[in-house]
Chains A and B, each alone.
Chain A
Amino acid sequence: MDLARSVALEIDLEAELVAAYPLLARRLTVVLRDADEAQDMAQSAFARALERRNQFHGGDARAWLYTIGIRLALNELRRRKRLVALPDDGEPAWAIASEPDLWAALAQLDPQQRAALVLHILDGYTHAEIAEMLDARTGTVSSWISRGKERLRGLLGDD
């Protein structure tokens, strides 16, 4: 019997990962500030999640994929910082056409702050949940979010 076909349990997780994948790619676009790079990173995270599916013990598959993807992205940014700063290729048209000021303001934040903000604002994850995803203390995440918002408030001139 073709057990791979017949056993559909794994499809549940895989389907959840497929559903979460575009969301991860969007979040990584904000963190990495590059949609193409974000997609590559999301694909790497997706592949890694499938390889490590036996480490998933149930719960929020999207958060699990986010954890893998955002950690990969932050590690990549740290590695890159150690090597050489890449030149800015300019702002993407889609960002200019939608929220250019916010996009520009987000560039002034640390990647961890961007990650914490998008996870909190767009996905509604709590500070504690984000702390677990980013392997940081809850207080640190609270600080990232609080300071990130204040920075954005100043940069956006929104009182």
Chain B
Amino acid sequence: MTDFDARLRDRFQRLDAAIPEPAVPVASQTRRGPNRRRQGIILVAAAAALLAAASLAVANQPPPDPVVVAKNAADEERVLEDLGSRTDNACLSREQATTMGRERLDALGLSNWTIRVDGRIKEARCVTFGVSGDTQEVLLVASMGGDVAKALDQIAAKLMATCAPRDDAVSLMRSTLTSLGVTDPKIEVTGIRQIPIENGDAYVAHIKGGCYVYGGAQFDDVGRYTWFVSGP
């Protein structure tokens, strides 16, 4: 790098630093359809595409047969409904999920479908199903567990209905997670991470008003979750 290059980089960095901070993007406004399960399918299909080595070659393949695509989509819906109806509030181990997945696929006449395990479930408390009709597979991925998910829905609503200070919000999250069997839950306090689909303006206003809310969750490379509390 020449001296000029170094000076130019410094000047670019100063200019860049002066640019006004953009507002948080509206993360979920473009998700299609009201059916959350259907959204789940879409998301899982994307995740499967992300993970499947085979999918890397998709761009080089001819366009899929529309009849096959339609059948895969219909099968995907059937699998999702079937598994979803049997796993509500569940916290399945990898073995339980594998057994159940295989049994249900066979019962639905989809013995040719495969069950694949995401590599990031080594220390997951629970696993759940991702369904991808395109690749005809059920993917086992880390899950916080249906029981925890349901409890967090209630916490999210509660924190939106009141104006909880930081420590109270964290304490509520921790006690709830612990009571459900989550050992030493990792909770982080952040700014706004994502804006929910519904009542996004109220969510932002609530935080800007000094209140702390549920900010979502994310698992790491071994399936351990971090839960977020979002605040100002």
Q: Which A positions have Cβ atoms within 8 angstroms of B? A: 1-15, 17-18, 21-22, 25-26, 29-30, 35, 38-39, 42-43, 46-48, 50-51, 53-54, 56-58, 94-95, 97-99, 102-103, 117-118, 121-122, 149, 152-153, 156, 158-159
**A2 B36 Cβ-Cβ under 8 A:** yes
Interface of chain A, main secondary structure:
helix
Once A18-B27, A50-B27, A95-B15 are accepted as A-B contacts, the answer to whether A6 and B146 lie under 8 Å apart by CB is yes
Q: How far is the CA of A8 from the CA of B142 in the complex (A)?
A: 8
CB distance from B3 to the nearest CB of A (A): 9
Q: Is the pair A58, B50 in contact by a Cβ cutoff of 8 Å?
A: yes
Residues of A within 8 A of B56 (CB): 57-58
CB-defined contacts of A6 to chain B, threshold 8 Å: 40, 128, 141, 143-146, 149
Bound-complex Cα distance A8 to B228 (A): 13
Residues B89 and A12 in contact, CB atoms below 8 Å apart = no
A13 touching B4, Cβ below 8 Å: no
Contact between chains at B12 and A118 (CB < 8 Å): yes
Contact assessment for B29 and A35 in the assembled complex, using a CB-CB cutoff below 8 Å: no
A135, chain B: closest CB distance, angstroms: 15
Ranked 8 nearest A-B pairs via Cβ = A3-B40, A98-B18, A9-B47, A25-B22, A10-B43, A4-B40, A54-B46, A99-B15
User: B80 interface residue, CB < 8 Å from A?
Assistant: yes
